[in-house]
Chain A
Amino acid sequence: MNIGTRKILDRSFTAVGIGSIIVMALALMVVVVPIVSNGIGAVFFTGTVEHRKMLRNEFQRGDTQHLASEVASSERYRARVYEILGTFEKELEGMEPALKRQYTSKYAQTRTAIQALLGPLPGDTTPMLTRFKYGQTRWEKAEEKLHDLLYESKWDNSNSEIMGKEYFVSRSNAFKGTSLAPLFPYMKSNIEKMLLPEFTVYWGFITDSSVDSHFFGGIWPEIQGTFFLAMGAMLFAFPLGVIAAVYFTEYARPGFLNSMLRSANSTLAGVPSIVFGMFGLAFFINTLKVSESKSVLAGSLTLAIMILPTIIRAAEEAILAVPKTYREASLSLGSTKWNTIATVILPAALPGILTGGVISLGRAAGETAPIIFTAAVSVGSAIGLADVFSSPTPALSWNIYNLASEHEAAAQLRHVQYGMVFALVTIVLLLNLSAIVLRARISKKMKG
């Protein structure tokens, strides 16, 4: 081959390698950036007066007097809407039956759209579900709903070759000539005065519990549940893992038994996470009956088994990294083997062991599959520390799945889902970052 071609091949080989690392970094960015940018929106957003009403009624927060004046000023503009609706209802009564039938269903749609935007209209019975008690609490949602009010969405299926296309028909045209017609331009021009959007920082998203299955409120029960589960798993797995690592590094003699134990460890590390969940269900709940049904305890035990191999490996590496001179110095001073391990080796290996522990904590917090059958419920309030032995808990990872895939209004609650994912990713990545920083400091210290 030509030397030039060989050079080109060499360069492009390098380019492929660097390219794939760049693609990996880009993938990380592509996944993390939308989660962060949309997740922040759960706490920082433009809230409407409905949001402040909700906070006042559900969480007893906010300045009552200021709210009352805001509500009064928004009601001044809303009154005109109610007036138009009332006039049209009267007009509808007096219409001929054919015309009346034509308008009734369209009017009902319009009325529902206004309810979604502004909350229950005067004369409505108080709704059972909290989600219908308020109008749009977030301004960007309100703008979407305003569009829904102004335009009716229809699907064009005329071309059977391609998928149907959505198009919009103005509602005000449908009501041309009736007393409802002025409603649409009025809504369009006065929506801000009716909803009073204002930049809001809602820390309650982190510290409040949810109202009406995450329509309002925050994610505290999930954060707490994740914390309980992960901490519980560490409580079981960390001591056991460190002891096992001490045995493997200091006491185990090479041989059949030892290699079997090591094989068992790597087998455990490779078991699919969903199988841990099945095992937790079959063993901890159905056989040992550690609790009646799902509980934090059963979930923690399952997660503990899952993270055990990681902890053992990390602790082993940390112990092996302790310089031999430490050991020899301690032994030459006359201390016993056990003394050496407890007072010299373990303290020296501690930062490394902790690094492994922190990473495992992150893994336990982020895993979903093992807790589906053993610990997680989709709705529920925060549980007390005394309940961990008997009651299940909501957890971030499970509730993200549940809210995004199974909730009846999944598409409306994207901001809550993003907020949850952001919270989970932040927790896990912060744990990992601290582990990375810790490890960098250790290696710097080891170098001297």
Chain B
Amino acid sequence: MAEKSAVERSRSTVFVVSARKRMLNKIAKTAGEGLLFALASFVAVIVIFIFFFVARDAVPFFQLRGFTEFFTSSNWYPADEPGQFGALAIIYGSLMVTLGSALIAVPMGVAAAICLSDILPFSVRQYAKPVIEMLAAIPSVAFGFFALVVLAPLMQNSGGTMLMWAWWLLVSPFLLLAVIVASDLLTTSIQDEKRRHNRYMLFVTFFGFISLALLFTVGTLLNGIQIITGTNALNVSIILSFMALPTIVSVSEDALQAVGRDIREGSYALGATRAETIIKTILPAGSSGILAAVILGIMRALGETMVVWMASGNSSHIPDPWFNYLEAIRTLTATIAGDMGEADQVTGSARFHVLFAMGFLLLLISFISNFVSERIVIRQRRILSGQ
């Protein structure tokens, strides 16, 4: 007996950890975790540093020149003596291309995301996803080069014809659909089947002629347009929209996938078609996620440098009329990229600091929109999981 217990005792000492060793272990563990934490919090340090160092060089500009000129004047003559630093036209240019690209990218992106999450079978989706990833991977300078060397001359030489074709191809299917839906809605109240049908055909012909006339007049109008310069806001907006699309598609697809299966099935059970299910139930449920996707996509367009620098024409004025997308414009990012090389020589001047003021403006916008979109995503996740 005694012999056995001795063996047991000697065995058990292997697993007994002395107080000293336990303490050492604990210290090593805390130190290790502390080190990991320090390395992980490096990201936060960088963010603070970026804000600090961009702001540090931006503040002197406002000290030198105040806020009024920067935000309200559109006289941008930084190289003059004394210089004029009105950035209104530049800020406007940035907003203009961002809005333009959003107008193209948001409907397309959301439609594509719906298609990927709800319509296409898995086998097709497998091939569609890499396409979107490749589109996201193409370097911005390659897009810029394309805009400058291929798209700009094309626009300049046959811009009107291109606009006309775009109008025909994009608008005619939607007009046709609108005609059918409008005629249907106007005749639903009629009870008699035969009368209803006759009235329906009448409406279709009537609206059909109106829309055909609209298509033709606007088409010929567009065909007559001569684009003075190929490097303009429209060119940049088109290219930027393709750069923003992958972000919009992938983030909103995630948002749509997060909407549960039960909601979809409930809607189908009530007799809704797929389109009705998507528009009336899935989109409202995923709307906040889609909003977040749109914000992220817009930020991509606003912060893009190379495309706007190469293909926007870099002319600092507000187009006339203000919605004229066929004029050259200038954006914040392009101004920073283009002027830094010369302004860098005169560190300390307003000319140098104004660029940092622009950078800080961009940084603030991106920070706010990021924050908002993140809150939105978190809120959506909480609501969906709470149901």
User: Complex Cα distance A400/B188, Å?
Assistant: 60
User: Complex Cα distance A338/B32, Å?
Assistant: 9
Q: Can you offer 26 A-B residue contacts whose CB atoms are under 8 A?
A: A1-B184, A6-B276, A7-B273, A10-B275, A12-B177, A13-B274, A17-B111, A18-B119, A24-B112, A27-B242, A35-B142, A248-B40, A270-B366, A274-B336, A278-B336, A308-B46, A367-B139, A369-B333, A400-B142, A404-B148, A405-B148, A405-B310, A424-B141, A425-B139, A425-B142, A429-B138
User: Complex Cα distance A186/B340, Å?
Assistant: 53
User: Of the candidates B111, B128, B306, which one forms a contact with A16 in the assembled complex, judged by CB atoms under 8 Å apart?
Assistant: B111
Q: Which of chain A's residues have a CB closer than 8 A to the CB of B86?
A: none
**Is B132 a contact partner of A24 (Cβ separation < 8 A)?**
yes
User: Complex Cα distance A366/B148, Å?
Assistant: 18
Q: Which candidate, B72-80, B211-219, B320-328, B354-362, is the interface stretch facing chain A?
A: B354-362
Q: Which of chain B's residues have a CB closer than 8 A to the CB of A366?
A: 137-142
Within 8 A of A (CB), among B140-199: 140-146, 148-150, 173, 177, 180-181, 184-185, 188
| Chain B proximity mask over A1-19: 1 for CB below 8 Å, otherwise 0 | 1100111111011111111
**Is B135 a contact partner of A424 (Cβ separation < 8 A)?**
no
User: In this assembly, does A348 line the interface, its C-beta being within 8 Å of a C-beta of chain B?
Assistant: no
User: Of the candidates B49, B146, B180, B242, which one forms a contact with A5 in the assembled complex, judged by CB atoms under 8 Å apart?
Assistant: B180
B364 to chain A, nearest CB (A): 10
Q: How large is the interface on B (under 10, 10 to 19, 20 to 34, 35 or more residues)?
A: 35 or more
User: In this assembly, does A283 line the interface, its C-beta being within 8 Å of a C-beta of chain B?
Assistant: yes
Q: A8-B177, A15-B173, A274-B333 are in contact. List 12 more A-B contacts (CB 8 A).
A: A14-B274, A16-B111, A23-B108, A24-B135, A243-B40, A244-B42, A244-B43, A272-B305, A281-B340, A282-B57, A366-B137, A417-B145
Residue of B53, B120, B142, B177 most packed against chain A (CB within 10 A): B142
Within 8 A of A (CB), among B96-154: 107-109, 111-112, 114-116, 119-120, 128, 130-135, 137-146, 148-150
Within 8 A of B (CB), among A204-228: none
Q: Which candidate, B5-13, B60-68, B296-304, is the interface stretch facing chain A?
A: B296-304
User: Of the candidates A7, A35, A266, A279, which one forms a contact with B54 in the assembled complex, judged by CB atoms under 8 Å apart?
Assistant: A279
**Contact flag A13-B50 (CB < 8 Å), given A247-B36, A278-B336, A308-B43:** no
Within 8 A of A (CB), among B20-70: 32-33, 36-37, 39-44, 46-47, 49-50, 53-54, 56-57
Tally of contact residues, A, Cβ under 8 A: 93
User: In this assembly, does B384 line the interface, its C-beta being within 8 Å of a C-beta of chain A?
Assistant: no
| Chain B proximity mask over A363-402: 1 for CB below 8 Å, otherwise 0 | 1011111001100000000000000000000000110110
User: In this assembly, does B376 line the interface, its C-beta being within 8 Å of a C-beta of chain A?
Assistant: no
B333 to chain A, nearest CB (A): 5
Residues of B within 8 A of A (CB): 32-33, 36-37, 39-44, 46-47, 49-50, 53-54, 56-57, 107-109, 111-112, 114-116, 119-120, 128, 130-135, 137-146, 148-150, 173, 177, 180-181, 184-185, 188, 226, 228, 242, 245, 249, 273-276, 278-279, 296, 299, 302-306, 309-310, 333, 336-337, 340-341, 344, 347, 355-356, 359, 362-363, 366-367, 369-371, 374
Q: Which residue of A lies closest to B139 (CB)?
A: A366
User: Complex Cα distance A372/B333, Å?
Assistant: 12
**Is A8 a contact partner of B180 (Cβ separation < 8 A)?**
yes
User: Of the candidates B42, B143, B150, B356, which one forms a contact with A240 in the assembled complex, judged by CB atoms under 8 Å apart?
Assistant: B42
Q: Which of chain A's residues have a CB closer than 8 A to the CB of B44?
A: 260-261, 264
User: In this assembly, does A436 line the interface, its C-beta being within 8 Å of a C-beta of chain B?
Assistant: yes
B88 to chain A, nearest CB (A): 20
Q: Which of chain A's residues have a CB closer than 8 A to the CB of B306?
A: 368-369, 397, 401
Q: Which of chain B's residues have a CB closer than 8 A to the CB of A18?
A: 115, 119-120
Residue of B139, B304, B356 most packed against chain A (CB within 10 A): B139
Q: Which residue of B lies closest to A338 (CB)?
A: B32
Q: Which residue of A lies closest to B347 (CB)?
A: A286
Residue of B33, B49, B141 most packed against chain A (CB within 10 A): B141
A284 to chain B, nearest CB (A): 10
